[in-house]
């Protein structure tokens, strides 16, 4: 009896942690999820294309075998042509706008080869006290 009460209390205590709200996904995680979904959709299209080709091949083989055996073969039904989805192309997502510090747009391309031409500190240039 005591053991079952303790087990029920433990399940109740730990279930609250399992039901906690998860933080929202980051932009990188959303982009990765979108790419994974696009790749899965493309994979489904490739599988449908390969299935279509194999069904056409099986039907052609059946008709050729039936004609060779002297049996009348039914006329092939008109079905849509198999459509090749082509190679996978990742979805283009707009680059997130980064602050200048993160994008390194303000940094010169090379390393400094000489000291600054001005010996004043920025506080002295703006008139502020150190």
- Record the tokens describing residue 26, joined without a space: 């980051």
CB atoms within 10 A of CB 38: 14
Q: How sure is the predictor about 41, in pLDDT bands with cuts at 50, 70 and 90? A: very high
Q: Determine which of 53-62, 73-82, 99-108 has the lowest per-residue pLDDT on average.
A: 99-108
pLDDT at 107 exceeding the cut of 70: no
What would the DSSP string read from start to end of 48-77? HHHHHHHHHHHHHHHHHHHHHTTPPPPPPP
Asked if 35 and 90 count as a contact pair (C-beta separation under 8 A), the reply is yes
Of 25 and 93, the structure prediction assigns the larger pLDDT to: 25
Residue 114: predicted pLDDT: 63
Which has more pLDDT, 117 or 40?
40
pLDDT-based confidence at 11, cuts 50/70/90? confident
Question: What integer is the mean pLDDT of 105-119?
Answer: 62
Q: Which helix (H) or strand (E) holds 105?
A: none
CA distances from 14 to 10, 19, 23, 112 (A): 6, 9, 19, 57
């Amino acid at each position: 009896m005591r053991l079952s009460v303790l087990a029920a209390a433990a399940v109740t205590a730990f279930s609250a942690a399992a039901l906690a709200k998860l933080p929202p996904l980051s932009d990188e995680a959303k982009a990765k999820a979108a790419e994974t979904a696009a790749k899965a959709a493309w994979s489904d299209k490739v599988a449908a294309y390969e299935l279509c080709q194999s069904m056409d091949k099986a039907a052609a083989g059946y008709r050729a075998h039936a004609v060779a055996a002297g049996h009348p073969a039914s006329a092939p039904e008109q079905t849509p042509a198999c459509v090749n989805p082509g190679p996978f192309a990742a979805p283009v997502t707009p680059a997130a706008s980064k602050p200048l510090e993160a994008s390194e747009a303000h940094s010169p391309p090379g390393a400094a080869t000489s000291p600054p031409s001005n010996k004043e500190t920025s506080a002295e240039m703006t008139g502020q006290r150190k």
